[in-house]
Structure 1
């Protein structure tokens, strides 16, 4: 339960379930992360299984702990993915590597003994629930834009076939998935968010360098990865400052594998006094609250929880035109969509800095909208009830 958008989404789902009706077990590969303490007390967290903890450890650590077969299977998956990624010029071979890791290690992993009425796999890859959990009804959740993910589709088709229901977090996410995996049935259940929780957490006192910064402040909350486009944000800020907008600072809350590359990019563009990586924060909301503008510079998304959270805090929002962007917000109503890429970010940010009335109108419009998605939980209950009806 590390800090992340999908993890926050899972917490919201768990907080909204009716525990008078449902008994819920939560299987985590490793019981760690800042969000672990936020799991509702009604949830029964299953005991860690050593073989599954290896997925959150380095290969040398796995071998040192004598999980030799799993360790060598992961090496095999990594080499196979690197070779294929080089041939296909894949921007993120990690997705394919995850597939192969599961393919090669599945025979060594134990099956969960309990049999369930419903089993939900909340994050891809879904091989654990597909192969190692016994349930009358299996549900797989989609959080990303699958038109951008480079995987072995035939391998995934076999996996998807084991699920009775597939759920996407937005209509655009659903359409993107079906363009890749034709013929499958996918429902939409949007992320459940508690505006009350977001607003309450935004008032908490945290160490926040933004509070003493009188410049125009941009904030992004995102994983430091290729998908989130932080590298494009750095290059865009360089162009904006070089064009005369000196009184500007961009703060990024988040962590990830691209951190050192991004630090180098900041230094190479001489932006150490303008672009700041704040690292992992359990509570990102005070940073959002302190922003003059929230920007999501992503290359692709399913539906970014962070964007909705910024809107809940009545912030003007700018997002890039990634394939599912239109399902994220209404352009010129409760946010702005700019062209995907560095030039689009430059144009969009300049427009919002320069036109204060436009920026204020976007912020005011968010106050008139309900971002709680209270009715979404009922869609999930209907799926549960269909399972019960099918067995009776």
Structure 2
């Protein structure tokens, strides 16, 4: 019986968290004893954690990574609070000098680096320790394990990080798991010297579970909307390109397409800015933010076209889920897009800009035959992939 530790931040609604729930459901508990370390016991997916998993108690210092700086000081974690302030100032200076659009990844690196001396070591030693979400400093430096594995879910060629700082951390791991071949290639374009450590294990998906959840509740207000319905499930952040989606719908409205409605399930730091963008473009009656949903599948099932307008992705879990629910798909041509969609076969890839998104929607809106062709193809595919876990057992 192997002792395994899996660490992640929390169980808030998100693609990474859904893939973690699926992996925990499919694990072989006869051969593995699983401890799950969540920095904060919060999120709508908490009750979806397999009851054979041993959920460890919160460690107060680690909960700060899911709290504001003010809350961190209120909880008397003064050294960690000061490290958070320093990382924020450092990242802001970096943003102004380098003129990067989103220094959030760099700030998170700094936050962990500055806080490390004030975070407790976990005494139990494991056979295998798995860090499921970047940054992986906790497993790298605060856990004793015979083997360490880190997961990567994003396109690292598109995020600003301190490469040298990351390399020191990555060297602590025996294996690095990418969720797609394209995700692996983008990672190696930045961290080429780690090639011998990187393997590909795709996100575990359960078509039966997704279809069951899609029928579990109704997708109001979409069900009574007779317009052509677009759906996106995504975090409201720069990476997911929801701002470009709003502007693309404005272009379509200007061309006379007033019977297209775009629904977005998700939440995030850009919510206020996106709401303001919707209002300034006069799209309150066509672009709807539905907020956080524990079960997004009824909404995907209710749409006519699933759209992923992202600026970058590792492998979007929601795209595979939309395929499982038999939906035609439009995704932008981010670096890893071709690993998710074969253009014209199981979806359409459009240019990664506002005009490209609008043109892709217009094409699929007008071409009923193309939508049917995509649907006919994806409904004849098998998207179950629990065999991917065999690769993980192999490296463990």
Q: Same fold (TM over 0.5)?
A: yes
Give 1:114's match in structure 2, choosing from 100, 115, 124.
124
- Residue equivalent to 1:156: 166
Give 1:268's match in structure 2, choosing from 271, 274, 280.
280
Aligned length: 384
- Work out whether 1:315 is the aligned partner of 2:315: no
- Work out whether 1:99 is the aligned partner of 2:117: no
- Residue equivalent to 1:209: 221
Segment of structure 1 superposing worse, 233-242 or 365-374: 365-374
Post-superposition offset of 1:92: 1.1
5+ residue gaps, structure 1: 385-392
Post-superposition Cα deviations, 1:321-345, rounded to whole Å, max 9, x if no partner, equal 0000000121111111011110110
- Work out whether 1:281 is the aligned partner of 2:279: no
Partner SS, residue 51 of structure 1 = helix
Decide whether the 8 Å contact of 2:219 with 2:299 is kept in 1: no
Partner SS, residue 294 of structure 1 = strand
Mapped to 2, the partners of 1:196 and 1:73 lie a distance apart of: 45
Alignment of 1:65-144 (within 5 A): 65-144=75-154
- Residue equivalent to 1:388: none
Post-superposition Cα deviations, 1:242-282, rounded to whole Å, max 9, x if no partner, equal 10111110000000000000000000000000000000000
Pairwise CA RMSD: 0.7
Mapped to 1, the partners of 2:17 and 2:252 lie a distance apart of: 34
Post-superposition Cα deviations, 1:106-139, rounded to whole Å, max 9, x if no partner, equal 0000011110000000000000000001000000
Decide whether the 8 Å contact of 2:177 with 2:199 is kept in 1: yes
Post-superposition offset of 1:207: 5.4
- Work out whether 1:376 is the aligned partner of 2:354: no
Post-superposition offset of 1:204: 1.2
Structure 1 runs (4+) greater than 4 angstroms displaced = none
- Residue equivalent to 1:180: 190
Partner SS, residue 129 of structure 2 = strand
Give 2:157's match in structure 1, choosing from 142, 147, 150.
147
Post-superposition Cα deviations, 1:54-82, rounded to whole Å, max 9, x if no partner, equal 11011111101111111011000000001
5+ residue gaps, structure 2: 1-10
TM-score after normalising by structure 1: 0.97
Post-superposition offset of 1:188: 0.3
- Work out whether 1:291 is the aligned partner of 2:307: no
- Residue equivalent to 1:11: 21
Post-superposition offset of 1:374: 2.4
- Work out whether 1:235 is the aligned partner of 2:247: yes
Mapped to 1, the partners of 2:121 and 2:218 lie a distance apart of: 43
Post-superposition Cα deviations, 1:23-68, rounded to whole Å, max 9, x if no partner, equal 0000000111100100000000001100001110111111011111
Mapped to 2, the partners of 1:372 and 1:191 lie a distance apart of: 10
Mapped to 1, the partners of 2:275 and 2:391 lie a distance apart of: 43
Post-superposition offset of 1:206: 3.8
Mapped to 1, the partners of 2:311 and 2:225 lie a distance apart of: 29
Cα 1:72/1:149, change in 2 over 3 Å: same
Mapped to 2, the partners of 1:371 and 1:303 lie a distance apart of: 14
Post-superposition offset of 1:183: 1.5
Partner SS, residue 252 of structure 1 = strand
Mapped to 2, the partners of 1:207 and 1:172 lie a distance apart of: 33
Decide whether the 8 Å contact of 2:91 with 2:107 is kept in 1: yes
Mapped to 1, the partners of 2:382 and 2:239 lie a distance apart of: 28
Mapped to 1, the partners of 2:371 and 2:253 lie a distance apart of: 20
- Residue equivalent to 1:301: 313
TM-score after normalising by structure 2: 0.96
Post-superposition Cα deviations, 1:312-361, rounded to whole Å, max 9, x if no partner, equal 00000000000000001211111110111101101110000000010111
Post-superposition offset of 1:85: 1.2
